[in-house]
């Protein structure tokens, strides 16, 4: 009955047996399981990158999907393995904040510390709980084992606030590049909430400062830019992106994840939302 879909988001990469082995574990427990990769190329050990990836994708999956989010530099230590149930989705992840952006979006959450060792593979390694613990639990969950059987609820789970832009003065806000995507688009942490004027059909005069570049044009689409032009665009993730038509903004500007981003309006028009 409970043929729950399972997704995988991790930093295990594609160059080793890790992801394949995890699927083997799941399918050995539940041969009918349906497994979909969201992304296994999260930057190694990068919890924020994992958090951004799952936050973008999970809402597009069917209700009752089990999302594995295994970015787990603390594997084998006393960091807890978690089973999280939200309104429509379930998550398996280490308790290191990798679900922080899910926590931000979901109102009703139940977070459990997975302790039911009889569901784990034995002997359990100290270095690959993706295989020995999380995949095994995902297999059993997908077969319909009740969440309460895996462990007790906890409330002191780890969460961090995603970095938000901050006003420096009346005309300037400072943010950051959250990531660059495969095309070299720079995804900033600015949204229409902090700088609504930027996304108006005729925005007031502005400068977006990234690296040594001053961006002064917003476009509606990636291909709206002239050849070589660096411009801003509202991306599909809901963030301000810095882009180049058929090119890489990351390479053109020399900026990447972590680079500072300033949004400067000529007049004191910035109306930072009280977050």
Q: Are 231 and 145 in contact (CB under 8 A)?
A: no
Residue 143 lies near a copy of itself (rule: CB under 8 A)? no
Q: Which of 6, 51, 53, 189 binds a copy of itself (CB under 8 A)?
A: 53
Residue 226 lies near a copy of itself (rule: CB under 8 A)? no
Residue 166 lies near a copy of itself (rule: CB under 8 A)? no
Minimal distance, residue 196 CB to a copy of itself, in Å? 16
Contacts of 42 by beta carbon, 8 Å cutoff, 6+ apart = 9, 10, 11, 49, 50, 53, 71
Separation between Cα atoms, residue 254 and residue 247, nearest integer Å: 13
Comparing CB distances to a copy of itself, the nearer of 42 and 270 is 42
Separation between Cα atoms, residue 270 and residue 165, nearest integer Å: 12
Residue 220 lies near a copy of itself (rule: CB under 8 A)? yes
Comparing CB distances to a copy of itself, the nearer of 16 and 107 is 16
Residue 199 lies near a copy of itself (rule: CB under 8 A)? no
Minimal distance, residue 263 CB to a copy of itself, in Å? 19
Residue 255 lies near a copy of itself (rule: CB under 8 A)? no
In order of 64, 84, 149, 223, 266, the CA distances from 153 in angstroms are 19, 9, 11, 49, 51
By DSSP bridging, strand 240-244 and strand 230-234 are antiparallel
Give the interface with a copy of itself as residue ranges (CB under 8 A).
5, 7, 9, 11-21, 23-25, 27-28, 31, 35-41, 44-45, 53-54, 56-58, 60-62, 65, 73-77, 125-128, 131-132, 181-184, 220-224, 233-236, 241, 245-246, 248
């Amino acid at each position: 009955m409970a043929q729950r879909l399972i997704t995988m988001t991790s930093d295990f990469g594609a160059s080793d047996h890790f992801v394949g082995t995890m699927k083997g574990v799941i399918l050995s427990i539940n041969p009918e399981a349906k497994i979909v990769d969201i992304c296994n190329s999260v930057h190694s050990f990068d919890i924020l990158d994992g958090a951004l990836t799952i936050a973008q994708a999970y809402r597009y999956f069917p209700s009752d999907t089990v999302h594995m989010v295994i970015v787990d530099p603390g594997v084998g230590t006393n960091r807890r393995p978690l089973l999280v149930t939200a309104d429509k989705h379930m998550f398996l992840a280490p308790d290191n904040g990798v679900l922080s952006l899910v926590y931000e979006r979901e109102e009703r959450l139940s977070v459990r510390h997975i302790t039911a060792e009889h569901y784990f593979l034995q002997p359990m390694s100290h270095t690959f709980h993706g295989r020995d613990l999380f995949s095994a639990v995902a297999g059993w969950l997908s077969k319909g084992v009740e969440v309460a059987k895996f462990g007790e609820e906890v409330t002191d789970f780890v969460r961090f606030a995603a970095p938000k832009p901050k006003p420096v003065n009346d005309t300037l806000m400072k943010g950051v590049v959250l990531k660059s995507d495969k095309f070299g688009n720079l995804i900033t942490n600015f949204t229409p909430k902090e700088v609504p004027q930027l996304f108006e059909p005729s925005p007031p005069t502005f400068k977006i400062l990234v690296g040594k570049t001053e961006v002064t044009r917003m476009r509606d689409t990636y291909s709206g830019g002239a050849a070589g032009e660096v411009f801003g665009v509202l991306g599909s993730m809901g963030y301000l992106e810095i882009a180049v038509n058929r090119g890489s903004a990351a390479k053109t500007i020399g900026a990447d994840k972590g680079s500072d981003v300033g949004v400067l309006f000529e007049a004191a028009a910035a109306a930072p939302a009280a977050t």
